[in-house]
Amino acid sequence: MSSPKAPSLEEFRAHAALTGLPLTPEDIEHLHKGYVGLLELMQRIPTHWAWAAEPPQVFRADE
């Protein structure tokens, strides 16, 4: 998997229509900025993992 490309506002609006959320134009603008910013920061998260790299089902610090 590669990191998703940052969407334009128009592309994001189309995505927003599929989320099931009632969003105002102002919501969409804010969310677009937030999403693009988050995606940029998320580049630090590796996207390639061993297929068996299973996250803990319930996070337990005492494991």
Partner 1 sequence: MTDLTLLGIAEAGRLLARGDITATALTESFLKRIDAVDHKIASYITVTADLARSAARQADMELKGGLRRGPMHGIPVALKDIYETAGVRTTGHSALRKDYVPTIDAETVRRLKDAGAVILGKLGTHEFANGAMTPDQPFPAVLNPWNTKYQPGGSSSGSGAAVAAQLCMGAMGSDTGGSIRNPAGFCGTAGIKPTYGLVSRCGIFPLSFSLDTAGPLAWTMEDCALMLDVLAGHDPNDQGSAKAAKVDYGAACHRPIKGMRIALARHWYEGKDQVTPDMKKGIDEAVRVLRDLGATVDEVTFPDIRDYHICGRTIITVEAHAIHRQEVIETPEKFGYTTRRRFQLGAFLTAEQYISALRFRRQLTLDTRAAMRGYDLVMCANHWGAPDKFEEPQPIFHFFGKPSLTMPFNVTGQPAATICCGFGSDGFPLSFQLAGRAFDEASVFAAGAAYERATSWRSHRPKL
Binding stretches for partner 1 (CB under 8 A)? 1, 4, 12, 15-16, 19-23, 27, 30-31, 33-35, 37-38, 41-42, 44-47, 49, 53-56, 58-62
> Which residues, 6+ apart, have CB-to-CB distance to 42 below 8 Å?
3
- For tokens 């940029």, the residue is 40
- Please report how close the Cβ of residue 33 comes to partner 1 at its closest, in angstroms: 8
Residue 8's alpha-carbon distances to 15, 26, 50, 58, in angstroms, are 10, 15, 32, 36
Query: Minimum distance between the CB of residue 10 and partner 1, rounded to whole angstroms?
Result: 15
Q: C-beta of 60: minimal distance to partner 1 in Å?
A: 6
